[in-house]
């Protein structure tokens, strides 16, 4: 908790006293282009750390179904490949993009590989984890396909375990889109 508070203080100083929001965070898309999450302002975001060689990889299909059904209503599914769990995302960004497209027809936004735990945790995951703790109050991401639902104003609504399927999140997405 101390580290999170120190990080938030540092960010506050860095942004000249302005409170940092999820929209200030810089990310790189799967093609290596840097952008901020400002692109998703006023949208509901479902942020997922993904992997191509995981027991939960089949969830790509459900994530794509959510994207197809609700993107026109304001849902943005964001996939962040991560290789921190038994090296289940070993490929390059090009290989990941090709796998997702050919195997699951993924059209939702995919990003470059990131770390979700440890010393090199991406700022997005620092933000998400500090906003919504996991089981027993821990902030650590336990496995691939942990999901975060973020409302239209950038507030984390809920964190879901890897075993929670995209279909099980649909009712919360519908509520957030209203």
The CA-atom distances, in angstroms, between 95 and each of 22, 24, 104 are 28, 29, 14
The CA-atom distances, in angstroms, between 13 and each of 6, 19, 21, 113, 173 are 11, 9, 14, 28, 34
- Bridging pattern class, strands 109-110 and 75-81: parallel
Catalytic residue among 45, 54, 150, 173, which? Answer: 54
The CA-atom distances, in angstroms, between 65 and each of 51, 61, 88, 107, 132 are 18, 6, 23, 10, 25
Nearest 5°: phi and psi at 177? -75, -15
Is 54 a catalytic site residue?
yes
- What is the distance between the alpha carbons of residues 151 and 122, in angstroms, rounded to a whole number? 20
CA-CA-CA-CA torsion sign (159, 23, 75, 99): negative
Q: Which residues are catalytic?
A: 54
């Amino acid at each position: 908790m101390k580290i999170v508070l120190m990080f938030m203080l540092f960010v506050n100083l860095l942004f000249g006293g302005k409170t940092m929001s999820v929209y200030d965070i810089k990310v790189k898309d799967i093609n290596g282009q840097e952008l901020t999450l400002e692109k998703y302002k006023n949208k509901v975001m479902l942020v997922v750390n993904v992997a191509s060689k995981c027991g939960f990889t089949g969830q790509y299909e459900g994530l794509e179904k959510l994207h197809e059904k609700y993107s026109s209503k304001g849902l943005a599914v964001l996939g962040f490949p991560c290789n921190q769990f038994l090296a289940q995302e070993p490929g390059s960004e090009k290989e990941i993009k090709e796998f997702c497209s050919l195997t699951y027809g993924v059209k939702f936004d995919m990003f470059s590989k990131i770390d979700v735990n440890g010393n090199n945790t991406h700022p997005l995951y620092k933000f998400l984890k500090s906003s919504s703790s996991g089981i027993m109050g821990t902030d650590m991401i336990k496995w691939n396909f942990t999901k975060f639902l973020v409302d239209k104003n950038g507030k984390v609504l809920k964190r879901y375990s890897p075993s929670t399927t995209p279909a099980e999140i649909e009712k919360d997405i519908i509520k957030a889109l209203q």
